[in-house]
């Protein structure tokens, strides 16, 4: 490997890392965040939409549903609590899981 190609690879790797983190940040900007809502607001959001991808702090997020009707026919639901502005643990609805594959989730 020549000196020029090594510098080029390092620059490419740095650019890819920068773009990846920028993409993750921009994707979360449009996502509702439970930590910026009250518990009642977070529950109302899931209830009114039926299903919503909700950020829960940092880089964590999940899809929360009002009921099993928003899951695939082979899936079941598991109750979920998330942090909100006013509560450390707020029930917002459920997540969908496949009982045949996710034995540890229920």
Please give the torsion angle defined by the CA atoms of residues 55, 57, 58 and 59, in that order, rounded to the nearest 10 degrees. Answer: -20
Q: What is the value of pTM for the model shown? A: 0.70
* Structure confidence at residue 13 (pLDDT): 56
- pLDDT tens by residue, 34-68: 999 999 999 999 999 999 999 999 999 999 999 99
Q: Helices (H) and strands (E) in the chain — how many of each?
A: 2, 4
Tokens 């773009």, located at residue: 19
Query: What pLDDT band is residue 24 in, cutting at 50, 70 and 90?
Result: very low
> Residue 104 pLDDT more than 60?
no
- pLDDT tens by residue, 8-23: 556 555 555 544 444 4
Tokens 């740095």, located at residue: 14
């Amino acid at each position: 490997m020549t000196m020029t190609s090594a510098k080029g690879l390092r620059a490419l790797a740095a650019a890819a890392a920068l773009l990846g983190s920028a993409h993750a940040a921009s994707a979360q900007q449009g996502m509702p965040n439970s930590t910026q809502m009250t518990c009642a607001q977070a529950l109302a959001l899931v209830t009114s939409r039926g299903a919503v991808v909700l950020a829960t702090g940092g880089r964590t997020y999940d899809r929360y549903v009002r009921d099993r009707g928003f899951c695939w026919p082979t899936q079941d639901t598991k109750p979920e609590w998330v942090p909100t502005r006013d509560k450390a643990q707020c029930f917002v609805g459920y997540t969908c899981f496949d009982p045949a594959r996710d034995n540890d989730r229920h």
